[in-house]
Amino acid sequence: MTDTIASEKSEQGPKAASASVIALRAATLQALPFSDTRDFDDAARGFLGTIENARITSAQGRVVWSLEPYGFLSEKQAPPTVDPSLWRQSRLNMHHGLFEVVPGVYQVRGLDIANMTLIEGDKGVIVVDTLTSIEGARAAIELYFRHRGKRPVVAVIFTHTHTDHWGGARGVIDDDMLSRGVPIIAPNFFMEHAVSENIIAGPAMLRRAQYQFGPFLAKGVRGHVDCGLGKTMAAGAVALLRPTDLIISTGDKRIIDGVEFEFQMAPNSEAPAEMHFFIPRYRLLNLAENCTHNFHNLLPFRGADVRDALAWSKYLGEALQMWGGKAEAMCGQHHWPVWGKERIDTMIREQRDLYKYAHDQTIRLMNHGLTAAEIAETIRLPQSLAGAWHGRGYYGHIRHNVKAIYQKYLGWYDANPVNLDPLPPVESGKKYVEYMGGAEAILERAHGDFAKGEFRFVAQALSHLVFADPDNRAARALLADTFEQLGYAAESSTWRNAYLFGAQELRQGMPKAPPRSPMPRETLAALRTEQLFDVLGVRLNGPKAEGKRIVLNWHLTDTGETFVLNLENSALTYVAGAQATDAQAGFTLPRSVLDEVIAKLTTFPEAVGAGRIEVSGDAAWFGELMLLMDEFPRMFEIVEPKRTVVT
């Protein structure tokens, strides 16, 4: 772990840490309270048992989760290639298994990036959040049964709309339980956001998420070590179940299997639909994902709506007003719990003030005329927050969260006309290379600045050269080395993953990933028909549709819905509750059959031939429309020019 960059020979593999990165590591060790080990005690508290290496496999034997590749984190001392603060968080996220929070409340941690919380009622168990994968959720509930005895699942609660909190529901709920009406409880507007947040822009988000989470990075001290919120993302099967009971307002209560829950709504915080709850019987507070052991994202690298830092802070303040001094244990849906009224209230106050400070000081500097980049360079957290381990930017980071706040209020444009209509990367790259004296001059200067540790500007300059000449091997190699050093220096796991994955793609090209799987039928069934047509609209290739007009009537017999789907002016629109008299064709079918077609369980012609779809007019018009649709690639270039021209 002590090798230096000078001894490194390979052009393709990860390199060692540079002297300037090692110097930053030493400064971090001096700046932060590494002698405070209470988090390690809390992360281990209440341990009851686990699965060896947290290894979970699918029915076909494919590994969907395992912590075995992270065995290198058993070393207490951080290597030169990992920020010591991030190393600490990465080691804390290695705790896995079933843990008792208080008698009657248990958590499964470390079998996914998120937690499953299990609350015992009078006759059964209430499951709070069901992890990402069906396989992981099934393994988690079986681990609980092994240590607490088999008992029926009497309810499921989804705290919010992100997939790692509902994707595994089918692992704890079967068809018999659904037929018996086991309640599935979620915050208001859960379905609208759960199915829309990652659908419309899903292809681009999934590719960008590879940079955020680093799934294609090798696990190791020069590669993937963590994701901040947890170790990594699970790779199993996912399906969405529709809630049967929505929590509408703060103060709403439910008695579930004899246990009273008091709820607080927190929309547009970490998720567009999110809620907290308190259980008086157990004096337990759960703030979902809004009070975790790191500074969270206000705008994740994968992309999303900007989250409201001011509202987030106010919800935490409201939680203090409602339950401050009452809770003796606080557990979230990531990380480990906190015990004791004073420690709980202190953590909530500090998290409340973390988001409020970031919001208010960003707006203050913005109103002084600073741009997003200038604010990120200027802002500093007060020591009381910067010195709190749970305030560190392992997942979000103050330097990119302030840019999200700026974007929420003022958008992408910084008001300088030079940034109003700049050249795109390839064209500007060529001009920058010309202005800077050519590729050799850039490389010579970049090598000099690299040696001085000026990695941020080296990356900017070399990126222009790579976009101007993506086949310049020397430029790609040096830019990869530069990204790597920036990754080694990063405290934020998401920054590290992005830099290291960028370096890997420059050296090795994009990973060979299989085509994207069709959307699961269960998830499709949860989408409104309008949302299906919205997805179809963004797939329409506008230039190909130039001058075409297609009008199709739809009648969905099982839902009773009717629609007119209309293509004109190269835009696809629809009208609900109507039928057009000038339609070229009409289709009568159950919505369930449409779901099967989209899930690729059958084809449209097969369903017509089998008599499952009735057609009026000329069915070929639907085929004509589908010929105008783009298929989105799973992979596309990010750190180099697009190889395929998109029109």
pLDDT tens for each residue of 426-483 = 999 999 999 999 999 999 999 999 999 999 999 999 999 999 999 999 999 999 999 9
Biggest alpha carbon–alpha carbon distance for the chain:
76
Contact 348, 290 (CB under 8 A): no
Say how many C-beta atoms besides its own lie within 10 A of residue 349's C-beta: 14
Say how many C-beta atoms besides its own lie within 10 A of residue 326's C-beta: 15
Q: How far apart are CA 626 and CA 90, in angstroms?
A: 47
* Amino acid identity for residue 540 in this structure: L
Q: Is the pLDDT of residue 379 over 60?
A: yes
pLDDT tier for residue 513 given thresholds of 50, 70 and 90: confident
* Amino acid identity for residue 579 in this structure: Q
**Full 3-state SS string of 22-73:** HHHHHHHHHHCCCCCCHHHHHHHCCEEECCHHHCEECCCCCEEECCHHHHHH
* Amino acid identity for residue 267 in this structure: P
305-339 pLDDT tens trace: 999 999 999 999 999 999 999 999 999 999 999 99
Residue 296 corresponds to which tokens in the numbers above?
């969270």
Q: How far apart are CA 353 and CA 372, in angstroms?
A: 21
User: Mean of the pLDDT values across residues 490-498?
Assistant: 98
Give the end-to-end CA distance of the chain in Å, rounded to a whole number.
Answer: 48
Q: How far apart are CA 168 and CA 105, in angstroms?
A: 20
Which residues, 6+ apart, have CB-to-CB distance to 427 below 8 Å?
A: none
User: Mean of the pLDDT values across residues 116-133?
Assistant: 98
216-246 pLDDT tens trace: 999 999 999 999 999 999 999 998 999 999 9
- The fourth-level CATH superfamily of domain 527-626 is SCP2 sterol-binding domain (3.30.1050.10)
Q: Is the pLDDT of residue 643 over 50?
A: yes
Q: Is the pLDDT of residue 516 over 90?
A: no
User: Mean of the pLDDT values across residues 8-24?
Assistant: 82
- Beta pairing class for 97-102 and 47-49: antiparallel
> Among candidates 142, 141, 145, which has minimal Cα distance to 156?
141
Domain ranges across the chain: 32-406, 527-626
Question: In terms of pLDDT, which residue wins out, 589 or 2?
Answer: 589
Q: What is the structure's pLDDT at 11?
A: 55
32-406: CATH architecture: 4-Layer Sandwich (3.60)
> Among candidates 55, 57, 50, which has minimal Cα distance to 71?
55
What percent of the chain shows pLDDT beyond 70? 98
User: Mean of the pLDDT values across residues 255-278?
Assistant: 98
User: Mean of the pLDDT values across residues 88-96?
Assistant: 98
Q: How far apart are CA 146 and CA 127, in angstroms?
A: 16
Q: Is the pLDDT of residue 494 over 50?
A: yes
Which residues, 6+ apart, have CB-to-CB distance to 642 below 8 Å?
A: 636
> Among candidates 117, 145, 143, 144, which has minimal Cα distance to 129?
117
- Please tell me the chain's helix, strand, coil percentages from 3-state DSSP, rounded to the nearest 5: 40, 15, 45
Q: What is the structure's pLDDT at 518?
A: 81
Which residues, 6+ apart, have CB-to-CB distance to 200 below 8 Å?
A: 534, 535, 538
CA 428 and chain centroid, separation: 31
User: Mean of the pLDDT values across residues 248-272?
Assistant: 98
Residue 646 corresponds to which tokens in the numbers above?
């998109």
Residue 535 corresponds to which tokens in the numbers above?
């997805």
Residue 147 corresponds to which tokens in the numbers above?
């240590």
Interior CA angle at 16 toward 15 and 17, to 5°? 125
40-61 pLDDT tens trace: 999 999 999 999 999 999 999 9
Contact 603, 597 (CB under 8 A): yes
Q: How far apart are CA 161 and CA 395, in angstroms?
A: 18
User: Mean of the pLDDT values across residues 552-560?
Assistant: 97
* Average pLDDT score over the chain: 95
Q: What is the structure's pLDDT at 517?
A: 79
Q: Is the pLDDT of residue 10 over 50?
A: no
pLDDT tier for residue 212 given thresholds of 50, 70 and 90: very high
Q: How far apart are CA 387 and CA 219, in angstroms?
A: 29
Q: How far apart are CA 530 and CA 565, in angstroms?
A: 10
Q: Is the pLDDT of residue 4 over 50?
A: no
459-468 pLDDT tens trace: 999 999 999 9
Say how many C-beta atoms besides its own lie within 10 A of residue 230's C-beta: 23
Contact 329, 105 (CB under 8 A): yes
Residue 549 corresponds to which tokens in the numbers above?
């007009």
Q: Following DSSP, what letter does each residue of 430-490 receive, concatenated?
A: HHHHHHTT-HHHHHHHHHHHHHTT-HHHHHHHHHHHHHH-TT-HHHHHHHHHHHHHHHHH-
Residue 47 corresponds to which tokens in the numbers above?
């341990």
Residue 491 corresponds to which tokens in the numbers above?
């405290």
Entry pTM: 0.95
Q: What is the structure's pLDDT at 521?
A: 83
Cβ-based burial of 225 (10 A; exposed 0-12, middle 13-18, buried ≥19): buried
Question: In terms of pLDDT, which residue wins out, 616 or 13?
Answer: 616
Q: Is the pLDDT of residue 647 over 80?
A: yes
Q: How far apart are CA 235 and CA 537, in angstroms?
A: 29
Query: Taking each helix axis from N to C terminus, what angle separates 473-489 and 19-31, rounded to the nearest 10 degrees?
Result: 10
Cβ-based burial of 40 (10 A; exposed 0-12, middle 13-18, buried ≥19): middle
Interior CA angle at 356 toward 350 and 361, to 5°? 120
What percent of the chain shows pLDDT beyond 90? 92
* Amino acid identity for residue 201 in this structure: A
